[in-house]
Structure 1
Amino acid sequence: MNHFELIKKVEWKDLRTLSVKEMLIENNISLPWFFISILLAYHEYYWLALPFSGFYFLTALRQVHNGFHNSLGTGKVLTWLSMYLNSILMMASIHAVKFNHIRHHKFCLSEEDYEGKSASMKWYEAILYGPKHMFLIHWITFKKANKNYQRNMMIELVSIAVFTFLIFFFQIHFLMYHVLVMIFGEFLMAFFAVWSVHHDTHEDPNIARTQRGSWKNKLTFSMFYHMEHHLFPAVPTIKLPELAERIDKALPDLNKKQTF
């Protein structure tokens, strides 16, 4: 059964609509984790801040990922602002990541899929590839994207540079901690955001790995429902658990490879 036949067997279009509560959650899910991590770092409790910084990175990734697919429930201006602010806080141009992510959906695990390069590597190779992955994401946007993407990328990169310069010039230690942790997180993206959900799926790239188990998906904020996302990218993350239930019911024999 191919991709289009799978889509026809599952009701999903109603899941694109967010309630006001769901919209507020998707647009603000990263803020508590950010403020707690910054507060702890301000008081120099860096080791205590680390898990909260990790959860900020994960939830901010969820937020911008929904922005890539216009699934935040807000208009273009607020979606752009969300992506711009998270670019500065996550230490990478989110519009560059978006450009490559949209190509990832279009050319999934093919030669033209630069985001997906690490999927064919061994797990340790994907980790070591991380810095090159982040450089390549920006370079490909510079080389292949239209002027709108390029302009947004440059705005974000200049803003990141100014933000980082001011932090280190004035020796703002709790923000220096944040910058370094976010750069480390970006270097792990090739492993966590690509390899973990796509390795050993080249025979049918659109059937990515997924995750079942309540506590696992709560711990990862539903970010590992990746098969569901690839089949129905317009569905917001907050609706993916319900989408997974519908897929399991409509396609009980579908081979679902677990993420972990």
Structure 2
Amino acid sequence: MNPLELIRKVEWKDLRTLSAKEMLIENNISLPWFFISVLLAYYEYYWLALPFSGFFFLTALRQVHNGFHNALGTGKFLTWLSLYLNSILMMASIHAVKFNHIRHHKFCLSEDDYEGKSASMKWYEAILYGPKHMFLIHWITFKKANRQYKRNMLIEIISIAAFAFTVFYFQIHFLIYHMLIMFSGEFLMAFFAVWTVHHDTNENPGIARTQRGSWKNKLTFSMFYHMEHHLFPAVPTIKLPELAERIDNVLLELDKKQTF
């Protein structure tokens, strides 16, 4: 069964609409983790700050990922602002990531899918590939994107550079910690955001891996409902558990490969 046949069988369009509460959650989900992590780092409790920094990176990724697909429930400017501010906090041009992610959906695991290159690697190769992955995300945007994407990427890179210069010039130790952890997160993206959800799916790239089990999805903030996301990218992350239920009820014969 191809992805188009799957889409016809599952009711999903009502899931695109967010309530005011859901919109508030999706647009602010990363903030508590950020403030707790930098507060602990300010008092030099770096080991205690580390898990909160990790959850900030994960929830910020969820936030911008929804922004890529216009699924934050906000207008064009607020979505742009979310991507811009998270670029500074996550230490990468999120518009460059967006450009490659949209291409990933269009050319999934093909030669033109630069985001998905690590999917065909061994797990340790995907980890080692991480720094090159982040360089290519920006380079491909520079080479192939339209003027608007390039302008947004340039604005974000200049802002990141200004932020980094200020932090290091004034030796703001808790923000130096934050920046280093964010760079580490970016270098692991090829493994966590690509390899884990796409390895060994080349025979049917449209059916990515997914995750079942409530505690696992709570721990990962529903970010591993990846098959569901690829089939219905317009559905916000907060609605993916409900979408997964609908898929499971309607498509009992569908073979779902687990993420972990």
TM-score by length of 2: 1.00
Counterpart of 1:129 in 2: which secondary structure? helix
User: Structure 2 unaligned runs (5+)?
Assistant: none
State whether structure 2 residue 101 is matched by structure 1 residue 105.
no
Counterpart of 2:212 in 1: which secondary structure? coil
Q: Which runs of 4+ in 1 moved over 4 A?
A: none
Corresponding residue for 1:47? 47
CA distance in 2, matches of 1:114, 1:69: 18
Describe how 1:71-86 pairs up with structure 2 within 5 A.
71-86=71-86
2:203 counterpart letter in structure 1: E
Q: 1:248 deviation in Å?
A: 0.2
Counterpart of 1:44 in 2: which secondary structure? coil
1:185 counterpart letter in structure 2: G
Describe how 1:86-125 pairs up with structure 2 within 5 A.
86-125=86-125
Corresponding residue for 1:129? 129
Q: 1:152 deviation in Å?
A: 0.0
- Could you list the per-position Cα deviations for residues 174-202 of structure 1 after superposition, in whole angstroms to 9, with x for gaps in the alignment? 00000000000000000000000000000
Corresponding residue for 1:213? 213
State whether structure 2 residue 195 is matched by structure 1 residue 195.
yes
Q: 1:3 deviation in Å?
A: 1.1
Corresponding residue for 1:151? 151
Counterpart of 1:208 in 2: which secondary structure? coil
Describe how 1:24-63 pairs up with structure 2 within 5 A.
24-63=24-63
State whether structure 2 residue 66 is matched by structure 1 residue 66.
yes
Counterpart of 1:27 in 2: which secondary structure? helix
CA distance in 2, matches of 1:258, 1:218: 16
User: Structure 1 unaligned runs (5+)?
Assistant: none
State whether structure 2 residue 169 is matched by structure 1 residue 163.
no
Corresponding residue for 1:17? 17
RMSD of Structure 2 on Structure 1 (CA): 0.2
Q: 1:253 deviation in Å?
A: 1.0
1:66 counterpart letter in structure 2: N
2:42 counterpart letter in structure 1: Y
CA distance in 2, matches of 1:22, 1:11: 20
CA distance in 1, matches of 2:120, 2:107: 15
CA distance in 2, matches of 1:43, 1:49: 10
CA distance in 1, matches of 2:229, 2:204: 15
Corresponding residue for 2:186? 186
Describe how 1:223-234 pairs up with structure 2 within 5 A.
223-234=223-234
Corresponding residue for 1:177? 177
CA distance in 2, matches of 1:229, 1:2: 15
TM-score by length of 1: 1.00
CA distance in 2, matches of 1:205, 1:52: 33
- Percent of pairs identical after alignment? 86
1:97 counterpart letter in structure 2: V
CA distance in 1, matches of 2:205, 2:56: 29
Q: 1:68 deviation in Å?
A: 0.0
Q: 1:44 deviation in Å?
A: 0.2
